[in-house]
Every structure is written in C-alpha cells, then in structure tokens.
Amino acid sequence: MPIEHLTDDDIQRYLDGHTCLENDQIREHLEICPACQDALEMYRQVYAGLVDDRDLLLPDDFARRVTAKLAVSKGVRWPAALTSVAAAGAGLVLSAVVLYFLVGWQPILAYFTNLSLSEPEFLRTFVSAILGQLAYLNGGLTIVVSGALVLFFYGTIDRLLAKAKIKHT
Amino acid sequence: MNAVEELVKRVVAGDLAAYETFVKRFQRLVGHIVFRMVDNQADREDIAQDVFVKIYQNLPGFQFECKVSTWIGKITFNTCANYLAKKKTPLLGDLGPKEATADDFTDDRARPDEMVEANDISSHLRREIAGLPVVYRTVLTFYHLEEMTYGEIARIMDLPMNTVKSHLFRARKALKERLMSKFLLEDLCR
C-alpha cells in the first residue's frame, strides 16, 4: 500500500533502525517523494550533530586530579587531627593570656594548690572555685565575653585551615 | 570476571592507581552528562570531580546488579539534578522561542555567503542543543553519545520508558525544525 508522506516519527524510527513500517515501503516512498527526502536529510544532519562531543570532554589530566584529591582526603586524618590539636592549643594559650590579664596568676595558682583530687566533693569545689573567680572578676560577663572571643578565634582558624585544604586539593 | 570487575575489585582493595584507570575509562561518560546538563562552565569540572568522589565512596557497595555505566550514569544524573535544583533550574522547561516559525523561514534563513562564517551547521546545532530543556539534552546524550537503550535511560532518569521515547522524538524534531529554519537544504548537502 503506497504511503502518503512519512511522519517525523517514521523517519526517526527508520534512522534508529526500528521502524514500524516495512523498510521497503519507506525506501520506495523516499525514492519518489522530494519532501520526505529533504526531511530525511535534515534528520541525518541532526543525528550527525548529536554524536559530536568536542565540547563535552573533561581535560586529559582529570583522572590524575581526581586521584590526587582522593589521596589527600585519605591521608588527611593525621594532619587534620594535628591541625585541630594545634588550633585547640592556640585557643588554650589565648585563654591563658586573657585570664592572666583579667585576674593574674595568683588566684589560679591558689585554686590549684588548694585543690585535692582525692576529695569526693571535687566537683562542688570546682564549681565553687569557678563561681569564686567570677565573683573576683566583679561580674561574670567579662569572662563569658572572653570565652566567646576564644571560641570565635578557634572557629575562624579552623575554617581558614579547612578552606586552605580544600583549595589545595 | 571481566576487566571492569577486576578494576573495581582492585579499587575496593584500596588501589588508587586502579581508580585512576577507572576514572579514565568512564570520564567520557561523566563529562558528556555533566557538560550537557550544567551550563555554568566554572562548575562543571567540580561537579564531575564530586561525581567520581561519590563513585569511589560507593564502589564497595556496588553489587553489579546493573551495568557499571548505568550505575555511573545514575550517580552523575542525580548529582547534576541536585545541583540544578539548588540553582532553581527546571529540568523540563519549554522548548523556548527558538522553535521554528513561519517567519524563521523567510527572515532568518542564511544566505550561502554567510555559511562560510563561523556560523556553520555543526556549531549551530551545538547551540540549538544547548538551548533545549535539560531533560531533552540528557536523553539525547544517553541515546546518541552513550548508545544506551530506552530501558537503561529510563532506569537512570527514573522515568517511564514511553516518556523517554517521547522526549527523544520531540527533541530531535525540534532540532530538525530549527535547522530547517536556519539553513537551506542545498547548503546542508554541499
């Protein structure tokens, strides 16, 4: 049975190699129908363009960069731990400096000298000592603000180190 | 055990050099999908790297219940889809104003002397593909560049097979019409 015109779907199925119509029927029609020949040629151009991947390729050294990134993240555990310890140490030193300027060494030394770890009321002693320090400071706000500053400092250092690590990878 | 399975086994055992070989083998697939789905050039390589980091992390749990390429395709597609969701880019927008109209045939058709310029058919087609909705571009990539079946594409994109087919046919029809609106047939046949 002669076909009037091939539809877009017919032509696409024909080019895909799974047509519903008989291939002979399609070929016969294409031989005599210029409009369908034009459409087929247009589709051929589209199909050819669709396998062109020149803009879709990753750089040649991509695989090496991926494995370098993985190697860094695999081996990062020790350096990361050391970095955290170093940052925590810096935070402690800063806290000590802040305390020194706020209260001096005497009250701190006095606290540790009088403290007996064997006492069962260690926690109570500790809490009362802290409260004593706050009272000595004539208001706890100063030490709370100092503590917040130390935490902020520690957090900033940690973020900067983490960013530097990501950039490095 | 085939070559890919052997490679996976070595990677899971901690062999990073084997993973480099694995990445080289599949970077074409990942690149095709990422570059077709993500327009922002600055983010493309980072996304591709993220994909391979995810693959590395999930490889020990991969049981070969599907082809490795299908599994990688799914991870890549999902990673790009998540990125686009964050950017509020729709996966299936409309076909846009570039679809062929009667005016295109009279006003926009290139003259033969214009054809020698950089505006050649293949670069025009690349631009038109880039202008399609993301889902269409992705289906075209899986079907034509990766030579995947409808079933594999449906599995990767989590779509019914008929929807995949329909996207594919509509996308190619749109491209054909846009090409017709721009070029004379004799130009194409030169």
Tens-digit pLDDT profile for residues A46-86: 999 999 888 899 999 999 999 998 988 765 444 455 666 77
One domain, residues A154 and A97: yes
Its domain, for residue A74, covers 62-168
Instruction: Quote the pTM value.
Output: 0.66
pLDDT band at B107 (very low <50, low <70, confident <90, very high): very low
Residue A92 identity: L
Q: What residue ranges do the domains of chain B occupy?
A: 3-86, 102-189
Q: Is the pLDDT of residue A135 over 80?
A: no
Is A88 found in the same domain as A29? no
pLDDT of residue B118: 42
Q: What one-letter code names the amino acid at B41?
A: Q
Q: Name the pLDDT band for A21 (thresholds 50, 70, 90).
A: low
Question: What's A33's DSSP letter?
Answer: -
At A112 the pLDDT is 66
Residues in A touching B144 (Cβ below 8 Å)? 47, 50-51
Locate the chain A residue with the closest alpha carbon to B125.
A49
- What pLDDT score does B105 carry? 36
What is the 3-class SS of A62-112, one letter each residue? HHHHHHHHHHHHHCCHHHHHHHHHHHHHHHHHHHHHHHHHHHCCHHHHHHH
Contact status of A49 with chain B (Cβ, < 8 Å): yes
For residue A131, count CB atoms less than 10 angstroms from its CB and return exposed for 0-12, middle for 13-18, buried for 19 or more: exposed
Q: Does A23 touch chain B (CB under 8 A)?
A: no
| Same domain, yes or no: A73 and A125 | yes
A120/A39 same-domain check: no
Q: Copy the structure tokens of residue A168.
A: 């490095």
Determine contact: B158 vs chain A, CB below 8 A.
Answer: no
What confidence category does residue B185 fall into, taking pLDDT thresholds of 50, 70 and 90? low
Residues of A in contact with B178 (CB under 8 A): none
Cα dist. A127→A32, A95, A96, A115 in Å? 100, 19, 19, 12
Residue A77: burial class (beta carbons within 10 Å; 0-12, 13-18, 19+): exposed
Is A67 in CB contact (< 8 Å) with chain B? Answer: yes
B102-189: what CATH class? Answer: mainly alpha
Please identify among residues 89-128 of chain A the ones whose CB lies closer than 8 Å to any CB of chain B: none
Q: How far apart are CA A76 and CA A71, in angstroms?
A: 8
Q: A12 vs B30: CB contact, 8 Å cut-off? A: no
Report the number of distinct structural domains present in chain A.
2
The pLDDT of A90-110, averaged and rounded, is 73
If one compares A83 and B166, the residue with the highest pLDDT of the two is B166
Residue A121 domain-assigned (yes or no): yes
Q: Tokens 């005497």 — which residue?
A: A106
Residue labelled with tokens 């050649």: B120
Predicted confidence band of residue B133 (pLDDT cuts 50, 70, 90): very high
Please report whether residue A126 resides in a domain. yes
Interface contact flag, A49 B121, Cβ < 8 Å: yes
Of B5, B121, B165, the C-alpha closest to A49 is: B121
Residue A57 within any structural domain of the chain: no
Please give the biggest Cα pair distance in chain A: 110
The CATH class that applies to domain B3-86 reads mainly alpha
Shared domain for A40 and A97, answered yes or no, is no
Answer whether B27 sits within 8 Å of A63, measured CB to CB. Answer: yes
pLDDT-based confidence at residue B23 (cuts at 50, 70, 90): very high
- Whether A91 is in a domain gets the answer yes
Q: Are residues A113 and A162 in the same domain?
A: yes
| Average pLDDT taken over every residue of chain B | 85
Cross-chain residue pair B189–A56, CB shorter than 8 Å: no
Whether residues A45 and A72 share a domain: the answer is no
For residue B25, give how far its alpha carbon lies from the nearest alpha carbon of chain A (Å): 9
